[in-house]
Amino acid sequence: MGEDTIKNIHYLVMKGIDKEFAGRYRLNNVVISGSKHVPLSYIQVTSEMEKMLAWYDDVKEKLHPIELAALFHFKFVYIHPFRDGNGRTARLLMNLILMQHGYSPAIVKEVIE
């Protein structure tokens, strides 16, 4: 898993919705509608993504694949690196990790209250 994979998946998810920003880290601060979590400043996105990918490389052979996929998903959405499409991209990346280890994809429904 690397930055190119993440950006390519985001591009594929978003190219028909917001092609200008598809596959590109956000260049502004964002809020998540309906959430109390305030994502990191856009200034921190690149360095936090680098840290997350270094973490992934360090633990990918040590953690159980299900735990790895879940933690990767959590860390990704916490950083919220893109302007839009973070949840969709996170779920695809989580399933990529699961499938690389022989597991079936997990179906996670979004809950909007």
* Residues classed as catalytic: 80
Q: Residue 60: which residues within 8 A CB-CB, separation 6 or more?
A: 1, 68
User: Exposed, middle or buried: residue 112 (CB in 10 Å: 0-12, 13-18, 19+)?
Assistant: exposed
The CA radius of gyration of the chain, in Å to the nearest whole number, is 14
Question: Dihedral of CA 48/101/90/28: which sign?
Answer: positive
